[in-house]
Amino acid sequence: MSRHYLRAIFLLLAASSAGLVAGAAGYDTTDRVVYTSPGGDALRLTLYQPKKSDDALRPAILLIHGGGWKVGTRYQCMWYGHRFAEHGYVAVTINYRMMMKYPFPNCIHDAKAAVRWLRLHAAEYRIDPDRIAAFGESAGGHLAMLLATTPGNSEFEGEENPGPSSRVQAVISVYGATDLTYYRQPGSMIELWGITPKYMGRFVGEDTRKDGKDPFVEASPITYATKDTAPTLFIHGTNDHVVPFEQSKAFYEKLQSFGVPAKLIAVKGRDHGFDHFHPMERRQLFKEMLTFLDKYMNTLTHGGV
């Protein structure tokens, strides 16, 4: 499956666009917006904005791409950006700092900076700052779940775009990596783009952490789950060989024990990255995403998906 998932990324990158483009289906796209520049490195986002004639505030959703924290760009989430914008959301896809140059927690610092950017620019883009959700696939799901579980955690907040909260009101994790302890053992790892147990140790800071804590545990979203975790929708293929289905199942059950609103959709027989190869299935799952978000971010009226 890893070969097919890599091919999907290249196809998605080839489909990328730039500049301000009028969306024929009811949205506009604004690309290459710098949302933060940590250490002088400009990080950019793309906005997919619904075409609306009124001045009503709209919910927003931050879309975070996967790629093992090492490869990929925000354009991998383009399909979702278009669809969410068509259905009333201001959708934002981001690039973030990646390995090998930038280990954890730089990537979550960037994701939280993006949430704060949305609140800082809420008036400009008619965003309701009290209705911001997060979506992530694979490594992006890892970051989305950290947004769900660690609002206000000083270790993960970073220094960019200070002021507003980085809290999100709801989260969608699509085959997200939520328990990184799985990747500590060589027998459990898929060598994908050079992502090996040694790589993962470097990513979480195995050789640099000095406080005696387990870096794999400390970098895992499931570690921080509490009764205050944002409502979460998990979507995961039962035959995933990159991020085991059991990771989403265990997280879902933990949230259930805390009384946190959560839903787990097990996609029978599907492997990692399945949504990029099965468009009809993806459209059906997108309806589930809209229903979930509407429940926890106030009801919107949608047309067909």
Beta-carbon contacts of residue 304 (< 8 Å; ≥ 6 apart): none
CB atoms under 10 Å from CB of 205, counted, come to: 16
For residue 103, which phi and psi values (nearest 5 degrees)?
-80, 170
Residue 84 near residue 305, CB atoms below 8 Å: no
Mean pLDDT confidence for 206-231: 94
Q: Which residues have CB under 8 Å from 195's CB, separation 6+?
A: 68, 70, 189
CB contact at 8 A, 60 and 118:
yes
> Which pLDDT score is estimated for 207?
87
Q: Between vectors from CA 173 to CA 255 and to CA 66, what angle results, nearest 5°? A: 145
Domains of the chain in sequence order: 2-296 (3.40.50.1820)
**pLDDT score at 100:** 92
What confidence score (pLDDT) does residue 299 get?
52
Helix (H, G, I), strand (E, B) or coil at 91: strand
pLDDT at residue 119, as a whole number: 98
Instruction: Say whether pLDDT at 300 is over 90.
Output: no
Kindly state the DSSP code that residue 229 receives in the 8-state scheme.
Answer: S
pLDDT in tens, 20-57: 344 456 889 999 999 999 999 999 999 999 987 678 89
Whether residue 11 has pLDDT greater than 70: no
The Cα diameter of the chain in Å comes to 56
pLDDT level of residue 211 (50, 70, 90 thresholds): confident
* pLDDT tens per residue across span 89-146: 999 999 999 999 999 999 999 999 999 999 999 999 999 999 999 999 999 999 999 9
How confident is the model at residue 209, as a pLDDT?
Answer: 86
Report residue 80's pLDDT band, with 50, 70 and 90 as the boundaries: very high
